Chain A
Amino acid sequence: MELLPENQQEFFRSKAAAIAHPRELVIDALRAVQSHHGWVPDEGVTLVAALLGILPIEVEEVATFYDKIFRRPVGKRVIHVCDSICCWTREGEAIFAYLQEKLGIAPGETTADGVFTLLPTCCLGACGDAPAMMIGLTTYGPLTPQRVDEILAQVRAEVSA
Protein backbone atom coordinates (compact mmCIF):
# COMPACT_ATOMS: atom_id res chain seq x y z
CA MET A 1 0.00 0.00 0.00
CA GLU A 2 1.16 3.50 -0.88
CA LEU A 3 2.65 5.49 2.01
CA LEU A 4 1.66 8.98 0.91
CA PRO A 5 0.23 10.24 -2.40
CA GLU A 6 2.71 12.04 -4.65
CA ASN A 7 0.91 15.40 -4.38
CA GLN A 8 1.17 15.30 -0.59
CA GLN A 9 4.82 14.32 -0.79
CA GLU A 10 5.39 17.32 -3.03
CA PHE A 11 3.50 19.52 -0.56
CA PHE A 12 5.87 18.57 2.27
CA ARG A 13 8.97 18.79 0.04
CA SER A 14 8.19 22.33 -1.09
CA LYS A 15 7.03 23.50 2.32
CA ALA A 16 10.22 22.14 3.91
CA ALA A 17 12.28 24.00 1.32
CA ALA A 18 10.42 27.24 2.01
CA ILE A 19 10.75 27.40 5.82
CA ALA A 20 13.68 27.97 8.14
CA HIS A 21 13.11 24.89 10.32
CA PRO A 22 11.75 21.99 8.22
CA ARG A 23 11.92 19.71 11.23
CA GLU A 24 8.87 21.45 12.70
CA LEU A 25 6.80 19.58 10.07
CA VAL A 26 7.68 16.15 11.40
CA ILE A 27 4.43 15.55 13.30
CA ASP A 28 2.33 16.83 10.40
CA ALA A 29 4.16 14.52 8.01
CA LEU A 30 3.91 11.48 10.31
CA ARG A 31 0.21 12.14 10.78
CA ALA A 32 -0.24 12.46 7.03
CA VAL A 33 1.42 9.07 6.45
CA GLN A 34 -0.66 7.54 9.20
CA SER A 35 -3.95 8.87 7.95
CA HIS A 36 -3.20 7.62 4.42
CA HIS A 37 -1.52 4.32 5.22
CA GLY A 38 -3.19 3.53 8.55
CA TRP A 39 0.07 3.35 10.51
CA VAL A 40 3.72 4.34 10.18
CA PRO A 41 6.04 1.52 9.04
CA ASP A 42 9.83 1.86 8.88
CA GLU A 43 9.54 2.98 5.27
CA GLY A 44 7.22 5.77 6.48
CA VAL A 45 9.92 7.00 8.85
CA THR A 46 12.54 7.05 6.09
CA LEU A 47 10.11 8.72 3.70
CA VAL A 48 9.34 11.54 6.19
CA ALA A 49 13.08 11.99 6.80
CA ALA A 50 13.73 12.26 3.06
CA LEU A 51 10.84 14.69 2.50
CA LEU A 52 12.04 17.03 5.26
CA GLY A 53 15.77 16.56 4.65
CA ILE A 54 16.48 15.27 8.17
CA LEU A 55 17.87 12.01 9.56
CA PRO A 56 15.64 8.93 9.98
CA ILE A 57 16.66 8.78 13.66
CA GLU A 58 15.35 12.32 14.12
CA VAL A 59 11.98 11.14 12.85
CA GLU A 60 12.04 7.89 14.78
CA GLU A 61 12.81 9.50 18.16
CA VAL A 62 9.71 11.61 17.70
CA ALA A 63 7.49 8.88 16.25
CA THR A 64 8.13 6.54 19.18
CA PHE A 65 7.41 9.25 21.76
CA TYR A 66 3.79 9.96 20.90
CA ASP A 67 1.08 7.46 21.75
CA LYS A 68 -1.11 8.56 18.85
CA ILE A 69 1.52 7.68 16.23
CA PHE A 70 1.20 3.96 15.51
CA ARG A 71 4.46 2.20 14.67
CA ARG A 72 2.66 -1.14 14.36
CA PRO A 73 -0.32 -2.13 12.22
CA VAL A 74 -3.71 -1.21 13.70
CA GLY A 75 -7.28 -1.82 12.64
CA LYS A 76 -9.19 0.56 10.39
CA ARG A 77 -10.43 2.39 13.48
CA VAL A 78 -8.58 2.74 16.77
CA ILE A 79 -10.75 2.90 19.87
CA HIS A 80 -9.11 4.83 22.70
CA VAL A 81 -10.90 4.25 26.00
CA CYS A 82 -10.25 6.78 28.75
CA ASP A 83 -8.97 5.21 31.97
CA SER A 84 -8.29 8.43 33.89
CA ILE A 85 -9.88 9.56 37.12
CA CYS A 86 -13.19 11.17 36.09
CA CYS A 87 -14.11 8.25 33.85
CA TRP A 88 -13.01 5.91 36.65
CA THR A 89 -15.56 7.54 39.00
CA ARG A 90 -18.28 6.89 36.43
CA GLU A 91 -17.90 3.22 35.62
CA GLY A 92 -15.16 3.65 33.02
CA GLU A 93 -13.63 0.30 34.01
CA ALA A 94 -16.92 -1.49 33.33
CA ILE A 95 -17.15 0.15 29.91
CA PHE A 96 -13.60 -0.93 29.08
CA ALA A 97 -14.43 -4.49 30.17
CA TYR A 98 -17.63 -4.41 28.12
CA LEU A 99 -15.72 -3.31 25.01
CA GLN A 100 -13.22 -6.14 25.45
CA GLU A 101 -16.01 -8.67 25.81
CA LYS A 102 -18.07 -7.28 22.95
CA LEU A 103 -15.12 -7.13 20.53
CA GLY A 104 -13.57 -10.35 21.82
CA ILE A 105 -10.12 -8.78 22.18
CA ALA A 106 -7.78 -7.64 24.94
CA PRO A 107 -6.30 -4.12 25.07
CA GLY A 108 -3.68 -3.75 22.36
CA GLU A 109 -5.35 -6.29 20.05
CA THR A 110 -7.20 -5.93 16.76
CA THR A 111 -10.46 -7.65 15.86
CA ALA A 112 -10.19 -10.57 13.42
CA ASP A 113 -11.98 -8.59 10.70
CA GLY A 114 -9.34 -5.86 11.03
CA VAL A 115 -11.86 -3.14 11.88
CA PHE A 116 -11.08 -2.20 15.48
CA THR A 117 -7.98 -1.90 17.64
CA LEU A 118 -8.63 -1.33 21.33
CA LEU A 119 -6.30 0.84 23.41
CA PRO A 120 -6.44 2.63 26.75
CA THR A 121 -5.74 6.36 26.79
CA CYS A 122 -5.37 9.03 29.40
CA CYS A 123 -8.02 11.73 29.86
CA LEU A 124 -9.67 12.79 26.59
CA GLY A 125 -10.82 16.18 27.88
CA ALA A 126 -14.38 14.90 27.99
CA CYS A 127 -14.51 14.58 31.77
CA GLY A 128 -17.97 16.15 32.01
CA ASP A 129 -19.25 13.43 29.67
CA ALA A 130 -17.61 10.51 31.47
CA PRO A 131 -17.13 7.69 30.77
CA ALA A 132 -15.67 8.59 27.40
CA MET A 133 -13.86 7.05 24.46
CA MET A 134 -12.47 8.27 21.15
CA ILE A 135 -12.78 6.41 17.86
CA GLY A 136 -10.49 7.87 15.21
CA LEU A 137 -10.74 11.58 16.00
CA THR A 138 -14.30 11.59 17.35
CA THR A 139 -15.03 11.62 21.08
CA TYR A 140 -18.05 9.85 22.53
CA GLY A 141 -19.63 10.10 26.00
CA PRO A 142 -21.29 9.54 28.36
CA LEU A 143 -21.18 5.83 27.52
CA THR A 144 -23.44 2.99 28.56
CA PRO A 145 -23.22 -0.56 27.18
CA GLN A 146 -26.20 0.24 24.98
CA ARG A 147 -24.57 3.43 23.63
CA VAL A 148 -21.39 1.45 22.95
CA ASP A 149 -23.39 -1.08 20.89
CA GLU A 150 -24.96 1.69 18.82
CA ILE A 151 -21.67 3.48 18.21
CA LEU A 152 -19.83 0.29 17.22
CA ALA A 153 -22.59 -0.64 14.78
CA GLN A 154 -22.56 2.81 13.26
CA VAL A 155 -18.76 2.91 12.87
CA ARG A 156 -18.72 -0.61 11.41
CA ALA A 157 -21.30 0.49 8.85
CA GLU A 158 -19.18 3.54 7.93
CA VAL A 159 -16.07 1.41 7.52
CA SER A 160 -17.74 -1.14 5.25
CA ALA A 161 -19.56 1.54 3.20
Chain B
Amino acid sequence: MSPRISEYPQVLFKNRVPGETVLIDGYRTTGGYTALEKAFKELDPATIRDQAKRANLRGRGGAGFPTGIKWSFFPADQPGKKYLVCNCDEMEPGTYKDRELLRADPHQLIEGVIISAFALQTPVAYIFIRYAFEDCAANLDRAVAEATAAGYLGKNILGSGFDCEIHVHRSAGRYILGEETALLNGLEGKRPNPRSKPPFPAVRGLFGQPTTVNNVETLANVPHIINHGAEWYKGLARTLEGAGTKLFGLSGHLERTACFELPVGIPLREVVEEVGGGVRGGRTFKACLPGGASTPYLTAAQLDTPLDFEPLEAVGSRFGTAGVTVFDDTTCMVAATLNLIRFFARESCGWCTPCRDGLPVVAWLLNKIESGKATFDDIDMLKDQFRNISGRSFCALAEGAMGPVAGLLNHFEQELADHVIKGRCPLKKK
Protein backbone atom coordinates (compact mmCIF):
# COMPACT_ATOMS: atom_id res chain seq x y z
CA MET B 1 0.00 0.00 0.00
CA SER B 2 1.13 3.48 -0.77
CA PRO B 3 2.04 5.39 2.40
CA ARG B 4 -0.11 8.30 1.22
CA ILE B 5 -3.27 6.28 0.61
CA SER B 6 -4.39 6.67 4.22
CA GLU B 7 -4.54 10.42 3.67
CA TYR B 8 -7.27 10.16 1.04
CA PRO B 9 -10.85 10.17 2.32
CA GLN B 10 -12.36 6.71 1.81
CA VAL B 11 -16.08 6.72 1.11
CA LEU B 12 -16.87 3.93 -1.37
CA PHE B 13 -13.95 1.78 -0.23
CA LYS B 14 -14.22 2.50 3.49
CA ASN B 15 -15.25 -1.10 4.22
CA ARG B 16 -12.86 -2.70 1.75
CA VAL B 17 -10.67 -5.52 3.04
CA PRO B 18 -8.64 -7.27 0.32
CA GLY B 19 -10.03 -10.72 -0.49
CA GLU B 20 -13.21 -10.23 1.53
CA THR B 21 -16.82 -9.28 0.80
CA VAL B 22 -18.85 -7.31 3.35
CA LEU B 23 -22.17 -8.94 4.27
CA ILE B 24 -25.23 -7.06 5.52
CA ASP B 25 -24.23 -7.08 9.21
CA GLY B 26 -20.81 -5.66 8.51
CA TYR B 27 -22.32 -3.11 6.17
CA ARG B 28 -24.75 -1.94 8.85
CA THR B 29 -21.99 -1.66 11.44
CA THR B 30 -20.46 1.23 9.53
CA GLY B 31 -23.73 3.05 8.82
CA GLY B 32 -25.09 0.94 5.97
CA TYR B 33 -28.81 1.41 5.22
CA THR B 34 -29.12 4.50 7.44
CA ALA B 35 -29.40 6.60 4.26
CA LEU B 36 -32.21 4.34 3.08
CA GLU B 37 -34.06 4.76 6.40
CA LYS B 38 -33.61 8.52 6.19
CA ALA B 39 -34.76 8.62 2.55
CA PHE B 40 -37.91 6.63 3.17
CA LYS B 41 -38.84 8.20 6.50
CA GLU B 42 -37.78 11.83 6.16
CA LEU B 43 -37.37 12.69 2.48
CA ASP B 44 -39.62 12.75 -0.53
CA PRO B 45 -38.51 11.61 -4.00
CA ALA B 46 -38.15 15.14 -5.39
CA THR B 47 -35.85 16.14 -2.53
CA ILE B 48 -33.57 13.16 -3.20
CA ARG B 49 -33.37 14.03 -6.90
CA ASP B 50 -32.56 17.59 -5.94
CA GLN B 51 -29.80 16.48 -3.55
CA ALA B 52 -28.07 14.58 -6.36
CA LYS B 53 -28.21 17.75 -8.43
CA ARG B 54 -26.87 20.02 -5.69
CA ALA B 55 -24.07 17.55 -4.94
CA ASN B 56 -22.98 17.89 -8.58
CA LEU B 57 -22.79 14.10 -8.88
CA ARG B 58 -21.69 13.23 -12.41
CA GLY B 59 -22.13 9.86 -14.10
CA ARG B 60 -19.24 7.44 -13.51
CA GLY B 61 -19.93 5.32 -16.60
CA GLY B 62 -17.70 7.35 -18.89
CA ALA B 63 -19.72 10.24 -20.28
CA GLY B 64 -19.93 12.22 -17.02
CA PHE B 65 -23.46 13.47 -17.51
CA PRO B 66 -24.76 15.23 -14.34
CA THR B 67 -26.93 12.66 -12.58
CA GLY B 68 -29.29 15.17 -10.95
CA ILE B 69 -30.04 16.75 -14.32
CA LYS B 70 -30.65 13.35 -15.90
CA TRP B 71 -33.01 12.54 -13.05
CA SER B 72 -34.80 15.89 -13.39
CA PHE B 73 -35.81 14.90 -16.96
CA PHE B 74 -37.30 11.66 -15.71
CA PRO B 75 -41.12 11.53 -15.57
CA ALA B 76 -41.11 10.20 -11.99
CA ASP B 77 -44.70 11.24 -11.35
CA GLN B 78 -46.10 9.75 -14.54
CA PRO B 79 -48.23 6.69 -13.78
CA GLY B 80 -47.44 3.35 -15.43
CA LYS B 81 -44.39 1.15 -15.67
CA LYS B 82 -40.95 2.75 -15.29
CA TYR B 83 -37.51 1.25 -14.83
CA LEU B 84 -34.12 1.94 -13.28
CA VAL B 85 -31.25 0.07 -14.92
CA CYS B 86 -27.79 -0.19 -13.41
CA ASN B 87 -25.01 -0.58 -15.94
CA CYS B 88 -22.33 -3.05 -14.85
CA ASP B 89 -21.14 -4.08 -18.30
CA GLU B 90 -17.70 -2.60 -17.57
CA MET B 91 -15.80 -3.86 -20.61
CA GLU B 92 -13.69 -0.90 -21.64
CA PRO B 93 -10.05 -2.01 -21.40
CA GLY B 94 -8.36 -0.48 -18.37
CA THR B 95 -11.62 -0.23 -16.43
CA TYR B 96 -12.17 -2.49 -13.44
CA LYS B 97 -13.48 -0.20 -10.69
CA ASP B 98 -17.08 -1.48 -10.59
CA ARG B 99 -15.80 -5.01 -10.14
CA GLU B 100 -13.60 -3.93 -7.21
CA LEU B 101 -16.57 -2.15 -5.64
CA LEU B 102 -18.87 -5.15 -6.03
CA ARG B 103 -16.25 -7.57 -4.78
CA ALA B 104 -15.70 -5.51 -1.63
CA ASP B 105 -19.05 -4.03 -0.67
CA PRO B 106 -22.07 -5.02 -2.82
CA HIS B 107 -24.70 -3.66 -0.40
CA GLN B 108 -23.59 -0.14 -1.25
CA LEU B 109 -24.94 -0.63 -4.75
CA ILE B 110 -28.13 -2.29 -3.51
CA GLU B 111 -28.80 0.59 -1.10
CA GLY B 112 -28.02 3.09 -3.88
CA VAL B 113 -30.35 1.34 -6.30
CA ILE B 114 -33.24 1.24 -3.81
CA ILE B 115 -32.89 4.92 -2.86
CA SER B 116 -32.57 5.92 -6.52
CA ALA B 117 -35.56 3.76 -7.48
CA PHE B 118 -37.55 5.55 -4.77
CA ALA B 119 -36.34 8.95 -6.02
CA LEU B 120 -37.40 8.06 -9.57
CA GLN B 121 -40.49 6.09 -8.48
CA THR B 122 -39.47 3.02 -10.46
CA PRO B 123 -40.71 -0.14 -8.75
CA VAL B 124 -38.50 -2.39 -10.88
CA ALA B 125 -34.72 -2.16 -11.20
CA TYR B 126 -32.33 -4.27 -13.24
CA ILE B 127 -28.64 -4.67 -12.61
CA PHE B 128 -27.04 -5.64 -15.91
CA ILE B 129 -23.78 -7.48 -15.32
CA ARG B 130 -21.17 -8.77 -17.73
CA TYR B 131 -20.39 -12.44 -18.24
CA ALA B 132 -16.88 -12.28 -16.75
CA PHE B 133 -18.14 -10.90 -13.41
CA GLU B 134 -19.82 -14.02 -12.04
CA ASP B 135 -18.13 -13.37 -8.67
CA CYS B 136 -19.87 -9.99 -8.48
CA ALA B 137 -23.18 -11.37 -9.75
CA ALA B 138 -23.14 -13.95 -6.95
CA ASN B 139 -22.36 -11.21 -4.41
CA LEU B 140 -25.33 -9.23 -5.72
CA ASP B 141 -27.70 -12.20 -5.58
CA ARG B 142 -26.78 -12.67 -1.94
CA ALA B 143 -27.03 -8.96 -1.13
CA VAL B 144 -30.49 -8.81 -2.74
CA ALA B 145 -31.63 -11.77 -0.63
CA GLU B 146 -30.19 -10.22 2.55
CA ALA B 147 -31.73 -6.81 1.86
CA THR B 148 -35.10 -8.44 1.17
CA ALA B 149 -34.96 -10.43 4.40
CA ALA B 150 -34.13 -7.22 6.28
CA GLY B 151 -37.19 -5.44 4.83
CA TYR B 152 -35.22 -2.96 2.68
CA LEU B 153 -36.45 -4.50 -0.53
CA GLY B 154 -39.80 -5.91 -1.59
CA LYS B 155 -43.32 -4.71 -0.85
CA ASN B 156 -44.12 -1.58 1.16
CA ILE B 157 -40.51 -0.79 2.12
CA LEU B 158 -40.34 0.50 5.74
CA GLY B 159 -44.08 1.21 5.64
CA SER B 160 -43.66 3.80 2.88
CA GLY B 161 -46.11 2.18 0.48
CA PHE B 162 -43.30 1.96 -2.11
CA ASP B 163 -42.47 -1.45 -3.61
CA CYS B 164 -39.18 -2.30 -5.25
CA GLU B 165 -37.74 -5.43 -6.83
CA ILE B 166 -34.21 -5.85 -8.18
CA HIS B 167 -33.31 -8.31 -10.94
CA VAL B 168 -29.69 -9.26 -11.57
CA HIS B 169 -29.32 -9.89 -15.31
CA ARG B 170 -26.29 -11.87 -16.46
CA SER B 171 -25.03 -11.06 -19.95
CA ALA B 172 -22.94 -13.11 -22.38
CA GLY B 173 -20.13 -10.84 -23.58
CA ARG B 174 -19.60 -7.92 -26.03
CA TYR B 175 -18.50 -4.40 -25.15
CA ILE B 176 -21.35 -2.70 -27.03
CA LEU B 177 -23.78 -3.85 -24.33
CA GLY B 178 -22.31 -1.06 -22.17
CA GLU B 179 -23.85 1.53 -24.50
CA GLU B 180 -27.12 2.23 -22.74
CA THR B 181 -29.56 1.67 -25.61
CA ALA B 182 -27.79 -1.50 -26.77
CA LEU B 183 -28.00 -2.62 -23.15
CA LEU B 184 -31.77 -2.08 -23.17
CA ASN B 185 -32.11 -4.20 -26.30
CA GLY B 186 -29.94 -6.82 -24.62
CA LEU B 187 -32.14 -6.83 -21.51
CA GLU B 188 -35.22 -7.27 -23.69
CA GLY B 189 -33.62 -10.31 -25.30
CA LYS B 190 -33.20 -8.62 -28.68
CA ARG B 191 -30.10 -8.36 -30.81
CA PRO B 192 -28.20 -5.64 -28.96
CA ASN B 193 -27.47 -3.02 -31.58
CA PRO B 194 -27.85 0.52 -30.20
CA ARG B 195 -31.11 2.39 -30.73
CA SER B 196 -31.40 5.83 -32.27
CA LYS B 197 -31.81 8.76 -29.89
CA PRO B 198 -34.24 10.51 -29.56
CA PRO B 199 -36.41 9.15 -28.13
CA PHE B 200 -34.15 9.02 -25.10
CA PRO B 201 -34.54 6.20 -22.57
CA ALA B 202 -36.21 8.61 -20.12
CA VAL B 203 -39.05 8.87 -22.63
CA ARG B 204 -39.01 5.43 -24.21
CA GLY B 205 -36.58 2.94 -22.70
CA LEU B 206 -36.89 -0.61 -21.48
CA PHE B 207 -39.97 -2.31 -22.97
CA GLY B 208 -40.94 1.10 -24.34
CA GLN B 209 -41.31 2.63 -20.86
CA PRO B 210 -39.45 5.54 -19.19
CA THR B 211 -36.05 4.27 -18.03
CA THR B 212 -32.97 5.69 -16.39
CA VAL B 213 -29.61 4.02 -16.91
CA ASN B 214 -26.84 4.71 -14.41
CA ASN B 215 -23.42 3.28 -13.71
CA VAL B 216 -22.63 1.16 -10.62
CA GLU B 217 -20.31 3.73 -9.04
CA THR B 218 -22.79 6.57 -9.71
CA LEU B 219 -25.55 4.79 -7.80
CA ALA B 220 -23.19 3.68 -5.01
CA ASN B 221 -22.49 7.35 -4.28
CA VAL B 222 -26.16 8.14 -3.61
CA PRO B 223 -26.43 6.79 -0.03
CA HIS B 224 -23.38 8.81 1.03
CA ILE B 225 -24.82 12.00 -0.44
CA ILE B 226 -28.09 11.38 1.42
CA ASN B 227 -26.23 10.74 4.68
CA HIS B 228 -23.72 13.57 4.59
CA GLY B 229 -25.20 16.17 2.26
CA ALA B 230 -24.33 17.90 -0.98
CA GLU B 231 -21.78 20.34 0.49
CA TRP B 232 -19.79 17.55 2.12
CA TYR B 233 -19.78 15.66 -1.18
CA LYS B 234 -18.52 18.63 -3.16
CA GLY B 235 -15.86 19.23 -0.52
CA LEU B 236 -14.33 15.80 -1.16
CA ALA B 237 -12.92 16.96 -4.50
CA ARG B 238 -9.66 18.84 -4.94
CA THR B 239 -11.04 21.06 -7.71
CA LEU B 240 -13.56 23.81 -7.01
CA GLU B 241 -16.03 22.73 -9.67
CA GLY B 242 -15.51 19.00 -9.06
CA ALA B 243 -17.34 16.80 -6.57
CA GLY B 244 -16.74 13.58 -4.72
CA THR B 245 -14.16 10.86 -4.84
CA LYS B 246 -13.46 8.60 -7.79
CA LEU B 247 -12.40 4.98 -8.10
CA PHE B 248 -9.22 4.92 -10.18
CA GLY B 249 -8.10 1.63 -11.73
CA LEU B 250 -4.34 1.77 -12.24
CA SER B 251 -2.72 -0.46 -14.87
CA GLY B 252 0.12 -0.73 -17.35
CA HIS B 253 3.75 0.07 -16.56
CA LEU B 254 3.31 1.19 -12.94
CA GLU B 255 4.84 -0.36 -9.86
CA ARG B 256 1.43 -0.65 -8.20
CA THR B 257 -1.46 -1.63 -10.46
CA ALA B 258 -4.53 -1.69 -8.25
CA CYS B 259 -7.79 0.18 -7.76
CA PHE B 260 -7.77 3.16 -5.39
CA GLU B 261 -10.36 5.65 -4.19
CA LEU B 262 -8.90 9.13 -4.68
CA PRO B 263 -10.29 12.66 -4.64
CA VAL B 264 -11.66 14.00 -7.92
CA GLY B 265 -9.17 16.56 -9.20
CA ILE B 266 -6.04 14.82 -7.94
CA PRO B 267 -3.17 15.66 -10.31
CA LEU B 268 -2.05 12.91 -12.69
CA ARG B 269 1.50 13.22 -11.33
CA GLU B 270 0.37 12.30 -7.83
CA VAL B 271 -1.52 9.28 -9.15
CA VAL B 272 1.48 8.06 -11.15
CA GLU B 273 4.28 8.86 -8.74
CA GLU B 274 2.72 8.47 -5.29
CA VAL B 275 -0.27 6.17 -5.61
CA GLY B 276 1.06 4.07 -8.48
CA GLY B 277 4.58 4.01 -7.03
CA GLY B 278 6.10 5.44 -10.20
CA VAL B 279 6.87 3.80 -13.52
CA ARG B 280 7.91 0.17 -13.23
CA GLY B 281 11.60 -0.63 -12.99
CA GLY B 282 12.57 3.04 -12.57
CA ARG B 283 11.78 3.77 -16.22
CA THR B 284 10.43 7.03 -17.63
CA PHE B 285 6.77 7.96 -18.11
CA LYS B 286 5.92 8.31 -21.79
CA ALA B 287 2.15 8.54 -21.99
CA CYS B 288 -1.07 7.29 -20.47
CA LEU B 289 -4.71 6.70 -21.18
CA PRO B 290 -6.28 8.79 -18.39
CA GLY B 291 -9.75 7.25 -18.40
CA GLY B 292 -9.97 3.99 -20.29
CA ALA B 293 -9.31 2.82 -23.85
CA SER B 294 -11.40 5.53 -25.53
CA THR B 295 -9.62 8.56 -24.05
CA PRO B 296 -6.86 10.44 -25.94
CA TYR B 297 -3.34 9.95 -24.55
CA LEU B 298 -1.71 12.38 -22.17
CA THR B 299 2.06 12.85 -22.24
CA ALA B 300 4.65 13.84 -19.62
CA ALA B 301 3.98 17.50 -20.43
CA GLN B 302 0.48 17.05 -19.00
CA LEU B 303 1.37 15.32 -15.74
CA ASP B 304 0.16 18.26 -13.70
CA THR B 305 -3.38 18.08 -15.07
CA PRO B 306 -6.02 17.68 -12.34
CA LEU B 307 -8.02 14.52 -13.04
CA ASP B 308 -11.51 15.91 -13.38
CA PHE B 309 -13.93 16.39 -16.28
CA GLU B 310 -13.20 19.99 -17.36
CA PRO B 311 -9.41 20.07 -16.85
CA LEU B 312 -9.01 16.89 -18.93
CA GLU B 313 -11.19 18.25 -21.70
CA ALA B 314 -9.08 21.41 -21.67
CA VAL B 315 -5.99 19.33 -22.56
CA GLY B 316 -7.80 17.43 -25.31
CA SER B 317 -8.67 14.27 -23.45
CA ARG B 318 -11.48 12.96 -21.22
CA PHE B 319 -11.98 11.75 -17.65
CA GLY B 320 -13.84 8.69 -18.96
CA THR B 321 -13.89 5.87 -16.44
CA ALA B 322 -10.68 6.93 -14.62
CA GLY B 323 -8.90 3.76 -15.66
CA VAL B 324 -5.32 5.06 -15.86
CA THR B 325 -3.09 2.92 -18.12
CA VAL B 326 0.53 4.04 -18.12
CA PHE B 327 3.11 3.45 -20.88
CA ASP B 328 6.85 3.68 -20.25
CA ASP B 329 9.51 4.99 -22.64
CA THR B 330 10.00 1.58 -24.31
CA THR B 331 6.42 1.56 -25.60
CA CYS B 332 5.70 2.08 -29.28
CA MET B 333 2.59 4.25 -29.41
CA VAL B 334 1.73 2.97 -32.89
CA ALA B 335 1.68 -0.58 -31.56
CA ALA B 336 -0.34 0.47 -28.49
CA THR B 337 -2.89 2.25 -30.69
CA LEU B 338 -3.07 -0.79 -32.98
CA ASN B 339 -3.91 -2.97 -29.97
CA LEU B 340 -6.65 -0.54 -28.94
CA ILE B 341 -8.14 -0.26 -32.43
CA ARG B 342 -8.19 -4.03 -32.82
CA PHE B 343 -10.28 -4.16 -29.66
CA PHE B 344 -12.79 -1.60 -30.97
CA ALA B 345 -12.92 -3.20 -34.42
CA ARG B 346 -13.63 -6.62 -32.96
CA GLU B 347 -16.29 -5.26 -30.60
CA SER B 348 -18.06 -3.18 -33.30
CA CYS B 349 -21.67 -4.30 -33.48
CA GLY B 350 -21.61 -3.94 -37.26
CA TRP B 351 -24.67 -1.71 -37.49
CA CYS B 352 -23.11 1.29 -39.25
CA THR B 353 -20.48 1.56 -41.98
CA PRO B 354 -17.99 4.11 -40.56
CA CYS B 355 -17.41 1.78 -37.63
CA ARG B 356 -17.85 -1.67 -39.20
CA ASP B 357 -15.69 -0.89 -42.24
CA GLY B 358 -13.67 2.09 -41.02
CA LEU B 359 -12.11 0.57 -37.91
CA PRO B 360 -10.62 -2.43 -39.78
CA VAL B 361 -9.06 0.02 -42.26
CA VAL B 362 -7.53 2.01 -39.39
CA ALA B 363 -6.18 -1.24 -37.90
CA TRP B 364 -4.79 -2.26 -41.29
CA LEU B 365 -3.04 1.11 -41.71
CA LEU B 366 -1.56 1.06 -38.21
CA ASN B 367 -0.32 -2.48 -38.75
CA LYS B 368 1.28 -1.43 -42.04
CA ILE B 369 3.00 1.51 -40.33
CA GLU B 370 4.13 -0.62 -37.39
CA SER B 371 5.62 -3.26 -39.65
CA GLY B 372 7.66 -0.62 -41.50
CA LYS B 373 5.94 -1.04 -44.87
CA ALA B 374 4.09 2.27 -44.95
CA THR B 375 4.72 5.48 -46.88
CA PHE B 376 3.73 9.02 -45.92
CA ASP B 377 0.58 8.50 -48.01
CA ASP B 378 -0.52 5.92 -45.46
CA ILE B 379 -0.19 8.46 -42.65
CA ASP B 380 -2.34 10.85 -44.70
CA MET B 381 -4.84 8.06 -45.21
CA LEU B 382 -4.89 7.49 -41.44
CA LYS B 383 -5.77 11.15 -40.97
CA ASP B 384 -8.48 10.84 -43.64
CA GLN B 385 -9.98 7.83 -41.91
CA PHE B 386 -9.89 9.69 -38.62
CA ARG B 387 -11.87 12.56 -40.13
CA ASN B 388 -14.20 10.19 -41.92
CA ILE B 389 -15.15 8.19 -38.83
CA SER B 390 -15.27 11.04 -36.30
CA GLY B 391 -18.80 12.33 -35.84
CA ARG B 392 -20.25 9.97 -38.43
CA SER B 393 -20.94 6.78 -36.49
CA PHE B 394 -24.34 5.71 -35.21
CA CYS B 395 -23.21 5.39 -31.58
CA ALA B 396 -20.26 6.50 -29.46
CA LEU B 397 -18.23 3.28 -29.85
CA ALA B 398 -16.43 4.38 -33.01
CA GLU B 399 -16.14 7.92 -31.64
CA GLY B 400 -14.38 6.43 -28.62
CA ALA B 401 -12.13 4.36 -30.86
CA MET B 402 -10.91 7.61 -32.41
CA GLY B 403 -9.77 8.83 -28.95
CA PRO B 404 -6.40 7.08 -28.97
CA VAL B 405 -5.97 7.81 -32.70
CA ALA B 406 -6.44 11.51 -31.94
CA GLY B 407 -3.83 11.21 -29.20
CA LEU B 408 -1.44 9.46 -31.57
CA LEU B 409 -1.84 12.09 -34.29
CA ASN B 410 -1.59 15.02 -31.86
CA HIS B 411 1.32 13.90 -29.69
CA PHE B 412 3.27 11.29 -31.64
CA GLU B 413 3.39 12.49 -35.23
CA GLN B 414 7.21 12.24 -35.20
CA GLU B 415 7.02 8.65 -33.98
CA LEU B 416 4.65 7.84 -36.86
CA ALA B 417 7.03 9.49 -39.33
CA ASP B 418 10.03 7.62 -37.89
CA HIS B 419 8.34 4.32 -38.71
CA VAL B 420 8.14 5.39 -42.36
CA ILE B 421 11.63 6.91 -42.55
CA LYS B 422 13.38 3.97 -40.88
CA GLY B 423 11.19 1.34 -42.53
CA ARG B 424 10.77 -0.41 -39.19
CA CYS B 425 9.46 0.20 -35.69
CA PRO B 426 12.06 2.51 -34.12
CA LEU B 427 11.30 1.14 -30.66
CA LYS B 428 11.40 -2.56 -31.35
CA LYS B 429 14.45 -4.36 -29.98
CA LYS B 430 16.29 -6.14 -32.76
Contact = CB atoms under 8 A, between A and B. Distances in A.
Interface of A: 20-21, 23-28, 30-31, 58, 61-62, 65-69, 80, 83-86, 88-90, 121-130, 134, 137, 139
Contact of B95 (A25, A121, A127, A134): A127
Contacts of B342: 83
A124 B173 CA distance: 10
Contacts of B375: none
B187 A85 contact: no
A86 B134 contact: no
B251 interface: yes
Contacts of B94: 84-86, 123, 127
Nearest to A62: B191
Contacts of B172: 27, 30-31, 66-69
B37 to A, nearest CB: 32
A10 B94 CA distance: 41
Contact of B336 (A23, A88, A128, A134): A88
Nearest to B172: A66
A28 B186 CA distance: 12
B263 interface: no
Nearest to B349: A65
B175 interface: yes
Given A30-B172, A31-B172, A89-B251, A125 B340 contact: no
Interface string B147-186: 0000000000000000000000111111100000000001
B191 A68 contact: no
Contacts of A21: 188-189, 207
Contact of A23 (B96, B189, B257, B323): B189
B93 interface: yes
Nearest to A26: B189
B234 interface: no
A122 B281 CA distance: 27
Nearest to B138: A137
Interface in B181-216: 186-192, 207
A-B CB proximity, top 10 nearest: A23-B189, A66-B172, A68-B173, A84-B93, A86-B251, A123-B93, A26-B189, A127-B251, A137-B134, A67-B173
A85 B335 CA distance: 10
B91 interface: yes
Interface string B270-294: 0000000000000000000100010
A58 B191 CA distance: 8
B252 A123 contact: no
B130 interface: yes
Contacts of B175: 122
Given A125-B90, A127-B257, A89 B189 contact: no
A68 B293 CA distance: 22
A86 B189 contact: no
A122 B207 CA distance: 30
A84 B339 contact: yes
B188 A127 contact: no
A124 B170 contact: no
Given A27-B189, A85-B293, A123-B91, A128 B250 contact: yes
Nearest to A129: B257
Interface string B295-336: 000000000000000000000000000010101000100001
Nearest to A22: B189
B394 interface: no
Contacts of A20: 207
Contact of A125 (B133, B190, B192, B347): B133
Given A27-B170, A30-B172, A62-B189, A125 B293 contact: no
B239 to A, nearest CB: 25
Interface string B336-364: 10011011001101000000000000000
Given A123-B293, A128-B250, 8 more contacts: A20-B207, A21-B188, A61-B190, A89-B336, A123-B343, A125-B133, A127-B249, A137-B132
Contacts of A139: 132, 135
B131 interface: yes
A88 B250 contact: no
A10 B88 CA distance: 30
B92 interface: yes
B107 interface: no
B166 to A, nearest CB: 15
B259 interface: yes
B266 interface: no
A3 B363 CA distance: 40
Nearest to A137: B134
B58 interface: no
